[in-house]
Chains A and B, each alone.
Chain A
Amino acid sequence: MAAARAVLRQVFGQYPMWILFGLMYICAGGLMPDLLTAVNFQNTVVQGTVIGILSIGMTFVMLIGEIDLSIVSVAAFAPLMGVLSIQILGLPVLAALVLTVVVGAGVGLFNGLIIEKVRIPSLVQTLATWWILSGVVLVVTEGATKGGFPPEWNWLGSAYIGPIRVVLIFFVIFVIVVWYFSKNTKTGLRLYITGGNENSARAAGIPTSRIRILAFVLSGVIAAVAGYTLSARLAAISSRFGTEWLMPAIAAPVISGVSLTGGRGNIINVVAGAYIIQLIVQVIRMAGIGGYYSELTQGLLVFVAILIDTLRRRMMGIQE
């Protein structure tokens, strides 16, 4: 009994976002029983993977007190390069996947180097990168949707193992690996320390510059992964690919307690935050609040979620 209580306290104390998501899902399910069917549940969870992965990438730059607006353009650009390498150069799918990740890392490295060495604020630098890469994607696709990928490319997005979609299994493994990295490696810990107080970190002999650049490389790589999983699910890449996910990818870490000033945040909670936002989006879509009102409603709900979370944290005495 005491042990059970300790576990409960651990969950409530450390992972409140999952409790909140669970409650919200049940409430939404009460209003829309469709949500409670296994198929729709899996759909919600699968659709949330894009915001989930992008949010995790965003979390790494937020941990060092920065932001990366370019992630949604990387999510289109990197897999587009991968696909083109198959269609034009005839690269095997596996090599194309490696290329996709390398492109994401390259963009992140570029962002990180400019931000760290030239001292351009991340908000401005990644805005420029976002713009440039969206431009490149538009030029390459000529505004059309690109498709016709080999089935191996789409396998991750379309295959099932038993009743469970492969993309979901991939997502769960991805989250666990990234979370484990953030908590159990020297580099992971140093991201937190550098974000918590860069001066102290440097005074302790931590190569803060390298750590900060690495945060951008990570967000680039993770954005590329997010883009690939989406392209594999949709079997297409469009010129507007991913744009709508930028605001959710910023909001999800914020409502999950990732400090915008750096040094604080838990990947596991970020995933729950991403799902809360995905649920809001989904409910609005299912409720038929279409077209012109959908964005407005989403924005308002996210605002309310952030407000409630901030008040909750203030009441619990948790400071930023």
Chain B
Amino acid sequence: MNESVPLVRVESLSKDFGAIRALHDVSFQLEQGKILGLVGDNGAGKSTLLNILFGRLQPSSGKIYFEGEEVRFKDPSEAMKKGVAIAYQFLELVEIAPLWVNFFMGREITRKIGPFNLLDNKKMKSLTEQKLSQYGFKTNVDREVRELSGGQRHLLAVSKAIETNPKLLLLDEPFTGLSERVMKEIHVLLAKTKDEKNTSIIISTPWFDQISDLMDDVMVLTRGNIVGHWTRESADRLQIFRLTKTVLH
């Protein structure tokens, strides 16, 4: 791929829900192997933006370029084919299914036995165990997701998204409700992914401090508008804090 072309370029993207303008004229771009922080309060439009990038929502106007080529994802499977993955704040896990099923759902491993393609359950279980323990999460993979703690679910959702080897990884408030320890674990995981796989990552968060160590760029979103965009070096913590806070009445 041409190095000068950004992985993602968004051009004056807007999204209306009836009379409510969730996103207004949003433009930005993200290079390969960079982490973009998306800071904003509840209702600022962070999730809307991520959902549009993942093909779950359609923009009302504006354009998205992926690897220099205009794209319009009609649904998540199209986005996934292009190499986009997402982990949600309201985690998209199957509560009543075992961990390993969640880890491999949508990309199950099969082996050919005669004319049949059969699941390799053993391999999926051992790989899940191995991958999760690499990410510092040791557990019995036969457990159902509903038995996990909030932090464990986050780790599972994030590591599962990373495992699909995406070019663009979208994380919707991955740190909400996490202990400092788990947050650090996810930080390490993301930094490693960025370095080793040259993955571009967009992380939304209501709190700048959660990503200040991690990000290369940061954008503040207020009521659907981008009100500031900084590089890591130029980011002004106090100003970002003030901008984020403006919507808090």
Chain A residues at the B interface, C-beta cutoff of 8 Å? 183-186, 188-190, 192-193, 196-197, 199-207, 259, 263-264, 319
A257 CB, min distance to chain B CBs, angstroms: 12
> Do A200 and B76 contact each other (CB < 8 Å), given the known contacts A263-B94, A263-B97, A264-B96?
no
A209 CB, min distance to chain B CBs, angstroms: 11
Q: Find out whether the CB atom of B94 lies under 8 angstroms from the CB atom of A206.
A: no
A-B contact count (CB 8 A): 68
Q: Find out whether the CB atom of A200 lies under 8 angstroms from the CB atom of B108.
A: no
B165 CB, min distance to chain A CBs, angstroms: 14
> Do A196 and B94 contact each other (CB < 8 Å), given the known contacts A205-B76, A205-B80, A205-B106?
yes
Q: Find out whether the CB atom of B110 lies under 8 angstroms from the CB atom of A186.
A: yes
Q: Find out whether the CB atom of A186 lies under 8 angstroms from the CB atom of B94.
A: no
Docked Cα-Cα span, A186 to B106, in Å, equals: 9
Some 8 contacts from A to B, beta carbons below 8 A apart, are A193-B94, A193-B105, A197-B95, A200-B94, A203-B76, A259-B96, A264-B96, A319-B146
Q: Find out whether the CB atom of B92 lies under 8 angstroms from the CB atom of A200.
A: yes
Docked Cα-Cα span, A57 to B176, in Å, equals: 42
> Do A189 and B92 contact each other (CB < 8 Å), given the known contacts A184-B119, A196-B97, A205-B80?
no
- List A contacts of B7 (CB < 8 A): none
Docked Cα-Cα span, A201 to B80, in Å, equals: 13
For A261, give the chain B residue with the smallest CB separation: B96
- List A contacts of B88 (CB < 8 A): 203
Q: Find out whether the CB atom of A186 lies under 8 angstroms from the CB atom of B119.
A: yes
Q: Find out whether the CB atom of A200 lies under 8 angstroms from the CB atom of B96.
A: no
Beyond known contacts A196-B97, A205-B76, A259-B96: 14 more, CB 8 A cutoff:
A184-B118, A185-B118, A186-B110, A189-B108, A192-B97, A193-B97, A193-B101, A196-B95, A197-B93, A199-B92, A201-B106, A204-B92, A263-B94, A263-B97
Chain B residues at the A interface, C-beta cutoff of 8 Å? 56, 75-77, 80, 86, 88, 92-97, 101-102, 105-108, 110, 116-119, 121, 146
For A263, give the chain B residue with the smallest CB separation: B96
- List A contacts of B119 (CB < 8 A): 183-186, 188-189
Docked Cα-Cα span, A203 to B106, in Å, equals: 9
- List A contacts of B101 (CB < 8 A): 189, 192-193
B113 CB, min distance to chain A CBs, angstroms: 9
For B124, give the chain A residue with the smallest CB separation: A189
Docked Cα-Cα span, A311 to B96, in Å, equals: 19
A317 CB, min distance to chain B CBs, angstroms: 10
- List B contacts of A203 (CB < 8 A): 56, 76, 86, 88, 92
> DSSP majority for the A interface?
helix
Closest 7 CB pairs of A and B: A204-B106, A196-B94, A200-B92, A205-B106, A197-B94, A204-B105, A203-B92
B44 CB, min distance to chain A CBs, angstroms: 22
B91 CB, min distance to chain A CBs, angstroms: 8
Docked Cα-Cα span, A259 to B105, in Å, equals: 20
For B146, give the chain A residue with the smallest CB separation: A319
Q: Find out whether the CB atom of A186 lies under 8 angstroms from the CB atom of B97.
A: no
- List B contacts of A193 (CB < 8 A): 94, 97, 101, 105
Docked Cα-Cα span, A197 to B102, in Å, equals: 11
- List A contacts of B77 (CB < 8 A): 205, 207
B159 CB, min distance to chain A CBs, angstroms: 14
B175 CB, min distance to chain A CBs, angstroms: 20
Docked Cα-Cα span, A156 to B161, in Å, equals: 51
Docked Cα-Cα span, A204 to B75, in Å, equals: 11
Q: Find out whether the CB atom of B106 lies under 8 angstroms from the CB atom of A206.
A: yes
For A264, give the chain B residue with the smallest CB separation: B96
- List B contacts of A186 (CB < 8 A): 108, 110, 117, 119
Q: Find out whether the CB atom of A202 lies under 8 angstroms from the CB atom of B76.
A: yes
For B108, give the chain A residue with the smallest CB separation: A186
Q: Find out whether the CB atom of A206 lies under 8 angstroms from the CB atom of B105.
A: yes
- List B contacts of A184 (CB < 8 A): 118-119, 121
- List A contacts of B102 (CB < 8 A): 200
- List A contacts of B92 (CB < 8 A): 197, 199-200, 203-204
Docked Cα-Cα span, A262 to B207, in Å, equals: 37
